[in-house]
A and B are shown apart, each in its own frame.
Chain A
């Protein structure tokens, strides 16, 4: 039950963050140039992403031996999670700017206005590319957490529910979801993924954890502590 909840939570949160970013692009295109082309682009991207989940999800679950799968996917999740955590630490320490959906929206609208004389392929392509590229991270999270825990269905459900919630919110308020604490979510997902990845990678190496699955809580505490130490270190006045 705990493993299923964690799988669902990681897939839901990771997908929600990326869906917010994709929504910003689709909204910017739709509200500037009309909805037909960006909606077609979005549907095409979602179709491609679903195909990727079906192909790779099936291949991974049926063809790769369990220990090898845990080691490879665990390693990839560690790299993926550390990248998010690394950025979250630098953002929290004020070294790089926080991700701002309002600014991303304004930049996309500005670039679309400049290209207004061109055909609506731009609206289609921008939505397709934006949703597909942001969706790749969702696909990876879903396949990784679902494939290693044996809960592919739960992970897919978490990812789909997150996309649905974000899409409904976007339809209702018709502007970027700038109030979503995206940076905090990425920080949290970075910690969860790095912890889960470390857990699977070590299991794939043939090493067992003292409290089995519960060890992930300890790993999350360790990575959270490390990130706070890094932020504290970088924020020190003497640091340069």
Chain B
């Protein structure tokens, strides 16, 4: 059972390092899923990438700040 538990947490750990960061990423993807298909603008998909990139910068900076404090 312990081994199964370790496997389960490993599977979750594949996708979630920091719950807040993962939550924000999912929220960004969900918002994009709702909004982007309605905007018929060439290149609008890059909005999703830019949002995820900004999220990466903010999340790593926040974690670094926590670890240095």
Listed in ascending order, the chain A residues whose CB lies under 8 Å from chain B are 71, 75-76, 78-80, 82-83, 85-87, 89-90, 93, 95-96, 125, 129, 132-133, 136-137, 140, 194, 198, 201-202, 205-210, 215, 218-219, 222-223, 225-227, 229-230, 233-234, 239-240
Q: Label chain A's interface by main secondary structure.
A: helix
With A86-B59, A240-B68 in contact, do A78 and B25 touch (Cβ < 8 Å)? yes
With A207-B44, A210-B42 in contact, do A234 and B56 touch (Cβ < 8 Å)? no
B57 near A129: Cβ-Cβ < 8 Å: no
How many A-B pairs with Cβ below 8 Å?
Answer: 121
Chain B residue total in the interface (Cβ 8 A):
41
With A202-B48, A219-B49 in contact, do A227 and B56 touch (Cβ < 8 Å)? yes
Q: Which residue of B lies closest to A201 (CB)?
A: B29
A78 near B60: Cβ-Cβ < 8 Å: no
B14 near A136: Cβ-Cβ < 8 Å: yes
A95 near B17: Cβ-Cβ < 8 Å: no
In the assembled complex, B50 has its CB within 8 A of some CB on chain A: yes
A223 near B64: Cβ-Cβ < 8 Å: no
Q: Label chain B's interface by main secondary structure.
A: helix
| Closest 9 A/B residue pairs (Cβ) | A226-B53, A79-B15, A202-B45, A83-B17, A234-B64, A230-B60, A89-B60, A206-B37, A230-B57
Q: Mark B28-51, 1 if CB is under 8 A from A, else 0.
A: 010011001100001111101110
B61 near A230: Cβ-Cβ < 8 Å: yes
Q: How far is the CA of A230 from the CA of B25 in the complex (A)?
A: 17
- Nearest CB of A to B13, in Å: 8
Q: Please indicate which of the listed interface residues A76, A78, A218, A223 has the most CB atoms of chain B within 10 Å of its own CB.
A: A78
A226 near B36: Cβ-Cβ < 8 Å: no
B14 near A80: Cβ-Cβ < 8 Å: yes
Q: How far is the CA of A158 from the CA of B45 in the complex (A)?
A: 29
Given contacts A223-B53, A230-B60, 17 further A-B contacts (CB under 8 A): A71-B33, A75-B26, A78-B25, A78-B52, A83-B14, A85-B56, A86-B21, A89-B56, A129-B6, A140-B14, A194-B52, A202-B45, A207-B44, A219-B49, A225-B53, A234-B64, A239-B61
Residue of A76, A125, A209, A227 touching B45 (CB-CB under 8 A): A209
Contacts of B69 in A (CB 8 A): 240
Q: How far is the CA of A47 from the CA of B38 in the complex (A)?
A: 46
Contacts of B6 in A (CB 8 A): 129, 133
Contacts of A89 in B (CB 8 A): 56, 60
Q: How far is the CA of A25 from the CA of B11 in the complex (A)?
A: 19
Contacts of A240 in B (CB 8 A): 65, 68-69
